A and B are shown apart, each in its own frame.
Chain A
Amino acid sequence: MAGAFQFELVSPERLLLSEEVTMVVVPGSEGEFGVMAGHAPMMSTLRPGLLRVSREGGADQAYFVRGGFAEAGPKGLTVLAEQATSLSDLKAEDIASQIRDAEEDLADAGDDDARARSAAALAQLREVQAALKLA
């Protein structure tokens, strides 16, 4: 076991989490990736999705994150998310209203580029919604 590393989850309003963890699964914009101790330095933007934190002793925790980026460095992993909510505090309506917003964005999108972007965001949000219903 490579052991624990420092993980910080920061939203613009506050520092949500700062502690030693064994593994974090981050929803990167080009696919989910897991980070463990000694990860090569990397930086990735986030897509809306679930961020899973595993600790020593097995107490897992999940957060819904949206927008921002993750930075894995020699000092550990830092996730800066524009929105981060603990899964236990997340309500189905929140996601539903975000999906509605995304649908409106898609309807308003002017050019192909914007349409593709909002369609992708919408698909990702629906994915999260589906995942939550199963959980």
Chain B
Amino acid sequence: MPSLKDLRNRIASVKATQKITKAMQMVAAAKLRRAQEAAEAARPYAERMEAVLANLASAFEGRDDAPRLLAGTGKDDVHLLLVATAERGLCGGFNSSIAKLARERAKSLIAQGKTVKIVCVGKKGFDALKRDLGAYIVKTIELRHVKRVAFENANEIGDLVRAMFDAGEFDVCTLFYARFQSVISQVPTAQQLIPATFGEAAKTVQTDAVYEYEPDEGEILAELLPRNISVQIFRGLLENAASEQGARMSAMDNATRNAGDMINKLTLSYNRQRQAQITKELIEIISGAEAL
């Protein structure tokens, strides 16, 4: 049975923890709003880009002179997994659910006899994957110093991916990130970057108008495809940032509530014990008086 002093100390420490989790929750809420705004602001660009590319790409379907970024290398032996996670922990299952999806994909590819290379964006993904897939990780990109993800950050990653692709280091590239659905729900998502794929939604936006191209379609496509990789990575990073803050917010909300429950329980047993002690002392005094 802990003494009264022990209980007092524990209550004080849980209260301090609760203050921290509460503060973290509020900070996450403020950051979430900003991240969500950034993600929404980036949406028009990515959507337009996708629609235009889908339009152009459909003209090249099945043609031999289609750019390699669109048609692929014709093999799928080497897979590059680009795993985007957060730089910090304490955000519920956010990092581990992305890492889990990537790990499952990597294991199934290895079982099929394919070569797997992993590039981690964010330290937590590296931490989660290094134990069992450490040998496959070719590079880790840290974005710790970045307060707000800018397009340049995504572009640097895009440059790296393009350089690796041009050097023939992989055939298929997939990006892993968590799509932001709501504060309580973030969906780990795998998106294939190379060869480029386009969502069904983008395909239906096709217009009937006959476009004039300047320079010709092939050149435009050749210029836009590499850019599209950066744009998709950027979108993934922004979704990830919003998801991270959302996940942290609900995790910290839970933690604050649990701390509250714990404080209630501890206070109850503290009061009980204090009452027991008072009763004990009274009995001692009364029985002492009766004995006289």
Residues of A at the B interface (CB closer than 8 Å) are 8, 10-15, 28-30, 40-45, 67-69, 71, 73-74, 78, 80, 82
Known: A15-B41, A67-B227, A80-B45. A45 touches B209 (CB 8 A): no
19 A-B pairs whose Cβ atoms sit less than 8 Å apart in the complex:
A8-B44, A10-B44, A11-B45, A13-B42, A13-B45, A14-B42, A29-B215, A40-B212, A44-B215, A44-B220, A45-B215, A45-B220, A45-B223, A68-B227, A69-B224, A71-B52, A73-B207, A73-B209, A80-B49
B214 touches A30 (CB 8 A): yes
A15 touches B44 (CB 8 A): yes
Bitwise, B26-56 to A at CB < 8 A (1) or not (0) is 0000000000001001101110110010000
Partner of B211, one of A8, A15, A29, A42: A42
Main secondary structure on chain A at its contact with chain B? strand
Q: Which residues of A contact B223 (CB under 8 A)?
A: 45, 69
Q: Which residues of A contact B289 (CB under 8 A)?
A: none
Q: Which B-chain residue is minimally distant from A75 (CB atoms)?
A: B207
Residues of B at the A interface (CB closer than 8 Å) are 38, 41-42, 44-46, 48-49, 52, 150-151, 154, 207, 209-215, 219-220, 223-224, 227, 230-231, 234
Q: Which A-chain residue is minimally distant from B235 (CB atoms)?
A: A12
A43 touches B219 (CB 8 A): no
Main secondary structure on chain B at its contact with chain A? helix
B48 touches A10 (CB 8 A): yes
Q: How far apart are the CA atoms of A66 and B49 in the complex, in Å?
A: 16
Partner of A12, one of B45, B52, B213, B224: B45
A43 touches B212 (CB 8 A): yes
Q: How far apart are the CA atoms of A30 and B219 in the complex, in Å?
A: 12
Q: How far apart are the CA atoms of A85 and B25 in the complex, in Å?
A: 35
Known: A45-B219, A71-B52. A12 touches B211 (CB 8 A): no
Most chain B CB atoms below 10 A, which of A12, A13, A67, A78:
A12
A41 touches B209 (CB 8 A): yes
